Every structure is written in structure tokens, then in C-alpha cells.
Amino acid sequence: MTPVWFDVEMAAKKRRAIIEERVKIQGEIDFATLSEEFGVSEMTIRRDIEALEASGVVRRVVGGAIAVIGKSSEPPFEARVADAAEGKTHIAEAVVALLEPHETVILDSGSTVLAVARAIKGKQLGLTIVTPSLLVALELADEPDTTILLAGGLLRPGELSLIGLDAEETFAQYNCDVYVMGVAGVDAARGITEYHRGEGSVKKAAMRAADRVIVVVDEHKLGRVQLMNVAPLAAVDTLVTDGDFGNPTLVAARDLGVKVLSVSTGPTTSLGKE
């Protein structure tokens, strides 16, 4: 007869393996959902998470845990495009509603900003677009009454973005109305951060060229800190996200005077503190 303790230990190992795989795919998990799914107490789930945290797999946050990803380890672009695609579409629609006809707009590289480029199509805004992203440029290349200015520089494979001194100097030539910035992490204390140093330097140059900065960020990046510091949170004018309006990072942003637009319940926008 198999000892009871053995069955319990095996069940815990199996449960933790499933949780580990889940958090790697989803980026985050919550105690209550896992407790209901596995039919165990939240205390049992907390012990599972503590074990995974000790192994360096997750980091505990309020009510759950998030995946631990190396601060310089950027997920593949294709995976980011597929991740939270619906949320990014809602974010993009909210951003386009903030743009005025005939503005000069910097569109960053990255999957969420690419969704913004797609949302611009057919809106007849007559924009001038400055971008370091080949994908953004190709997306809007045939859009009527739209001018595309592509940054120079070194091409990053996979991302198809342009980085380096030439790209940074491109933005020094222009005075732009708005910069739509994609980010790898937004944190109350560390602000805006990025995986790649070259990408981070281009973002800094683009910020200097724009009158206002709109940061687009999906909920999984809230509270995360990556390798390179780009800017303090207070330097952002507007933050558009599908994160919950009560998220601590969003609360901190509003306290700093950042306008926060949350599309967590769909395309409807909630306004934060001006």
C-alpha cells in the first residue's frame, strides 16, 4: 500500500509543474483561481508558489505571482504579438482616439504599437509618421494622405526595428506632436524600462523630440522592471493599458499626475487624474 504522504508529495509535484508551465505562458497567476481549479486551499497554493519562488521560477505579488524573466531576456516578437492580442487591440483603439488630424506622430517599435498602426488605418487622419519600425512603416505605407519618415540605423533581426546613433539622430531632426511608446516594463519606483539598451536609447531620443508622450502597456508589464531605465514615470503624459484601474502601478501613475486610460473592461476608456 502506497503511503499517504507519498501520494500527497506526488500530487504537490504535479500541481507545481502545472503551475510553473501556466505562469510561463500567461506571465502571471492568482491564488484564488488556482485554489478553485485544483480543489485545494489558498494556503496550499501559497506553499506551492513559495516553492516555485525558491526555485527562481516566479515572484510573489499581491494575490498571486508573476513569471521571473531575465531582465535582458526579451521574448520573441511573434510571441508578443500573439500574447493578449485582444487587449492590445482595445489599447490601440483608445490611443487613436487621442490623436488629432494632421499631427506628426512618432510610432515606436513593438507589438502593441504595431496594433496602434493597424488601428490608424482607415481613419483618414492625414498623419506624418516618424518611426524606427519597419513593420509600422509597411503597415501604413499605402494609407492615403499619410507621410512616413523612417529612421536610419542598424536593423534588429526579429524586431525589424532600427537602433543606434543614426536612429537616435533621426529624432533630433524633428519636432513632433506626440510619441506613442511601447515599453517592456512600467514600475512605480523604477519608471519606464526596456530589455534592450539600443532600443532604450532610441526611446529616450524619441521622447526628447515629442511634445507629449503616450505609453502603451498591457497588464502583464505593469509592476515589472527590465534592464535599462528609459524615463521616470512622471515624464509620461498619458498611459493607456488594459490593466485594472486599481493596479498599484496605475494608482502611483495617477498620483504623479499621469493621465491613465484603462480599457480593462473593453474599448470604453476610464480617465485618471489629469
Q: Domain boundaries in the chain? A: 4-67, 77-271
Does the domain formed by 4-67 have CATH 1.10.10.10?
yes
How sure is the predictor about 71, in pLDDT bands with cuts at 50, 70 and 90?
very low
CATH code: domain 77-271 is 3.40.50.1360
Question: Which pLDDT value is given to residue 73?
Answer: 47
User: Which residues neighbour 179 within 8 Å (Cβ) at sequence distance 6 or greater?
Assistant: 105, 106, 108, 206, 207, 209, 210, 212, 213, 214
Measured CA to CA, the distance from residue 270 to residue 112 in angstroms comes to 19
Is the pLDDT reported for residue 76 higher than 80?
Answer: no
Is the pLDDT reported for residue 235 higher than 90?
Answer: yes
Is the pLDDT reported for residue 74 higher than 70?
Answer: no
Find the farthest-apart pair of alpha carbons in the chain and give their distance in angstroms, rounded. 78
How sure is the predictor about 144, in pLDDT bands with cuts at 50, 70 and 90?
very high
Question: Which pLDDT value is given to residue 217?
Answer: 93
Work out the average pLDDT over 153-179: 93
Contact of 210 with 138, CB cutoff 8 Å:
no
Question: Which pLDDT value is given to residue 7?
Answer: 60
Estimate the crossing angle of helix 42-54 against helix 4-26, to 10 degrees: 70
- What's the pTM value of the predicted model, to 2 decimals? 0.70
Q: Which residues of 200-237 are buried (b: 16+ CB within 10 A; e: fewer)?
A: bbbbbbbbebbeebbbbbbbbbbbbebbbebbebeebb
pLDDT above 90 covers a percentage of the chain that reads 57
